[in-house]
Structure 1
Amino acid sequence: MIFQENPNDNKDTSNQLQALYGPLLDFYSLGKVLISTLKSALGQCVEAESTSLLQLKQGFSYFLFNTWIPGTNCCNWEGVTCDEWSRVISLDLSNQGLDGTINPSLFNLTSLRTLNFATNSFFGNSIPDYGWDRLGNLSSLDLSFCGFVGKVPVGIAHLKKLAVINLSSNYVPLNNSLSFTIKPTLLQNMRSLKELYLDNVDLSTYWSEWSGAFVNSTMILEVLSMRGSSLFGVFPKPIFQLRNLKQLDISENPMLYGSLPDFSVDSNLISLALSHTNFSGNLPNTIGNLKFLKDLDLSSCQFSGIIPSSIGNLSQLETLNLSNNSKLQGPIPRSLFQLSKLSNLYLASNHFSEVMVELEQIKGEIPPQLGNLLQLETFDLSVNKLSGMIPQELVSLHFLGYLNLSYNKLIGKIPVGGQFSTFRNTSFEGNEGLCWFPCNTIFTTENKTIASTSSNRSYMIVLGILFGVGFGGSMALVAVLDVMCCDRSKWRRSRRPTDG
């Protein structure tokens, strides 16, 4: 039996669905219209926040933005960002040359998530003491390069959502009686803090407390930067091993001592900078465990020993600076020249006397395998003990913009082609055996160009050959002319008439 579909059944079902869901669909559509209308109405910026911003402006004697006009929509003002409800959530007044004081009206912007006052001129003024607890949504605060003095307000430490703080370079260069001091208690409640920048801030007064605070903290720090912050004594090794740490910069602290730890395979370090400190000791073989490392700057320290071959495991490495470590010596491992992403290599002013590529590698020569580092942009091997010739393979480094091989014991012709046509004599000075093609000059330690002995010898040989050929040719020509003259005389005598 064949059943035929009744079209009336479909119509009844459709009507039932429409009756059931129709009101819901209408309510949804109405809600969208209401939300759209509400957003449009709120697009005019909250009046109280507009007033607060204008009051903030009045506290500055100099203000660049010309869009901050009463009666206009503050969400369209320069440096201001609003959310979908037209609440101010971001205020960026960096690099505006602002001076004067920060008006407390700032703290009426309770929806703020990011606040940036970096690189302004608040010299001699303090960060406002009160009101920070009202900015409970703040996640990023940048007060760097502003010239603030005094103490960091305790209220900032109560901002539990704060993930980024930059308080770097706050000082008054013409008034040493003013100081910018930060107490480590700032960190106690900041469980969300991921990035802390304290460059060029004097932390010496509380450094022993700071170091203990970092070691014992439950923060999830990813970036810690204390460049030039007057750190002293022995740097705690556990800080290197903070589980989430990705970037650590403690360079330019000459009174800071320490040695590198044994790095765990679980380390997340991407950037490590210790330059211009008194760190010493050997580079640990476990440095090869830093599989995410991109930038390593250990320059101008007191490291000794050799570069471990495990450095070849740093497959993400882009910049390596080991220059000015007077006790660092021995072979440069072959594995270093297999780092395909390496673009900046600084090995100047060390005591590398051997480049080990093969076990039987001739001592002192730059390996041709260096030409495999196709991303290399900067290469500095100056003031070492390298000898031999510059490999022609280096011509293939098409991105090489800076080369310094000065003050070694290199010899022979400087390669021709590629980037070598752009390098100046200073890249090769102090190598008395080097010369430009066709080897008519060499480079002395006095940075003067003089005639090459081999070149002079070649020149004299060529001159002798030319002189010999010229002399021999001249003699042959004289002989020919003499014969011709003799024959001509005989011919003339034979033509004279005889006496009758």
Structure 2
Amino acid sequence: MRMRASHSQALLILLLSSLIAGAANAEPSRDPTNKDCHPGDKAALLAIMAALGQPEPPYPDNYCCDWYYVICDDLGRVVGLELFQHAELTGTIPDAVGDLAHLKNLLLHKLPALTGPIPPAIGKLTDLTMLRIFWTGVSGPVPSFLGALKKLTFLDLSFNSLSGAIPASLGSIPNLSGINLSRNRLTGSIPSFISKTADQVYLWLSHNNLTGPIPAEFAAVNFAHLDLSRNALTGDASGLFGGGKELDYIDLSRNSLDFDLSGVVFPAGVESVDLSHNAIRGRIPAQVAYVDDLRYFNVSYNRLCGELPTGGKMPEFDLYDYQHNRCLCGAPLFRPCKK
């Protein structure tokens, strides 16, 4: 049984939607009797759109709290700015964004002509809980000043052209539990930048050029979803597993990880495990056959040996999940085990 890319993407979208919906429900609703936003906020919105090549408001005769990309609270302060799927918006992220002092949610999505670095003005938005700049042409580093956004719970900077190292300053954000930096050009090692006290951490760093070991401190983090695939990571990743972990999904594929799988205990509720294309050795633990929720398990292209476990979930996985190992044997592989 194979998990197709569309299945993985659907799972990712579902997890993101859950996080975003939770934050949205926490935002105050706007009082319909107070439709116009604060004058300073309105001036900032007009400056933002003008800088992006849209000098006219979308509905010039309407109150700015009724503009389709604006979310206001019951006092008329702009708490959400959501610009997405606008190929005609061009330029860099305007500094005027920093003048929206009460902003909690900033979304810039599928804006291919949005270029340049993330400006320091973003660091002024100390009420931000969600910062999502993804599928754009934004480049430059992941700024260290993002560490000043102490209320941030979700950061998505995926599918951009960001480069350089992941700043350790992100570790100073106490409740940051969702981080997506995948599909960039990030280099260097992964810092220990995740809070050990955050519940249900979601971390995506796939499709970068990260090197070095996975931080040992990650063993104490309560990951729910972890994707470090398609980098050049090395060393031991066994600390990410354990019977008491709440891990649902883990993808460490296409790295250079080297550790003994024999003693690894898989979390009871894990649904998807991809360890393929590494240098993992040892045997496949018999316990994996009795992980009730496991739907996808791939350890192909490693250095594993020994007889494949039998019973339980094992008939659900096919030879493609085990191929290209040093000396694995037993069904569904065509190599019988020597008695």
Distance of aligned partners of 1:374 and 1:318 in 2 relative to their CA distance in 1, 3 Å threshold: same
Q: Alpha-carbon deviations, 1:49-108, whole Å to 9, x = none?
A: xxxxxxxxxxxxxxxxxxxxxxxxxxxxxxxx985659599xxxxxxxxxx968525363
Match of 2:302 in 1: 384
Pair 1:433 & 2:327 matched: no
Q: Alpha-carbon deviations, 1:79-138, whole Å to 9, x = none?
A: xx985659599xxxxxxxxxx968525363244497379xxxxxxxxxxxxxx9xx9533
Match of 2:21 in 1: none
- Shifted more, 280-289 versus 373-382: the winner is 280-289
**Structure of higher RCO (CA pairs closer than 8 Å, 6+ residues apart):** 2
Equivalent AA in structure 2 for residue 142 of structure 1: E
Q: Alpha-carbon deviations, 1:129-173, whole Å to 9, x = none?
A: xxx9xx95332222123212123344433222321111123115x
Structure 2 residue aligned with 1:406, among 323, 326, 329? 323
Distance of aligned partners of 1:156 and 1:254 in 2 relative to their CA distance in 1, 3 Å threshold: closer
Identity %: 22
Q: Distance between the aligned counterparts of 1:83 and 1:401, measured in 2?
A: 57
| Unaligned runs of at least 5 residues, structure 1 | 1-80, 90-99, 118-131, 173-178, 356-365, 415-430, 436-500
Match of 1:319 in 2: 249
Q: Distance between the aligned counterparts of 1:220 and 1:341, measured in 2?
A: 30
Matches within 5 A, 1:67-82: none
Secondary structure at 2:155 match in 1: strand
Whose strand proportion is higher, 1 or 2?
2
Residue 180 of structure 1 and its aligned partner are, at CA, apart by 3.0
Q: Distance between the aligned counterparts of 1:384 and 1:252, measured in 2?
A: 24
Secondary structure at 2:59 match in 1: helix
Q: Is the 8 A contact 1:278 1:302 kept in 2?
A: yes
Whose helix proportion is higher, 1 or 2?
1
Q: Is the 8 A contact 1:281 1:304 kept in 2?
A: yes
The TM-score normalised by the length of structure 1 is: 0.51
The TM-score normalised by the length of structure 2 is: 0.72
Match of 2:167 in 1: 236
Structure 1 residue aligned with 2:92, among 151, 171, 181? 151
Match of 1:109 in 2: 63
Q: Which has the larger radius of gyration?
A: 1
**RMSD of aligned residue pairs (Cα, Å):** 3.6
Pair 1:300 & 2:230 matched: yes
Secondary structure at 1:286 match in 2: helix
Matches within 5 A, 1:18-417: 85=33, 103-104=56-57, 106=59, 108-112=62-66, 115=69, 136-147=76-87, 148-172=89-113, 179-181=114-116, 183-205=118-140, 207=141, 211-215=143-147, 217-261=148-192, 264-268=195-199, 270-291=201-222, 293-309=223-239, 311-312=241-242, 315-326=245-256, 328-332=257-261, 334-337=263-266, 339-355=267-283, 366-395=284-313, 404-408=321-325, 409-414=327-332
| Unaligned runs of at least 5 residues, structure 2 | 1-28, 38-52
Q: Distance between the aligned counterparts of 1:252 and 1:105, measured in 2?
A: 32
Distance of aligned partners of 1:391 and 1:154 in 2 relative to their CA distance in 1, 3 Å threshold: same
Q: Alpha-carbon deviations, 1:397-424, whole Å to 9, x = none?
A: 87x799722222332333xxxxxxxxxx
Distance of aligned partners of 1:105 and 1:395 in 2 relative to their CA distance in 1, 3 Å threshold: closer
How many residue pairs get matched? 289
Q: Distance between the aligned counterparts of 1:159 and 1:313, measured in 2?
A: 46
Q: Distance between the aligned counterparts of 1:85 and 1:403, measured in 2?
A: 61
TM superposition outliers: structure 1 runs of 4+ over 6 Å:
400-403
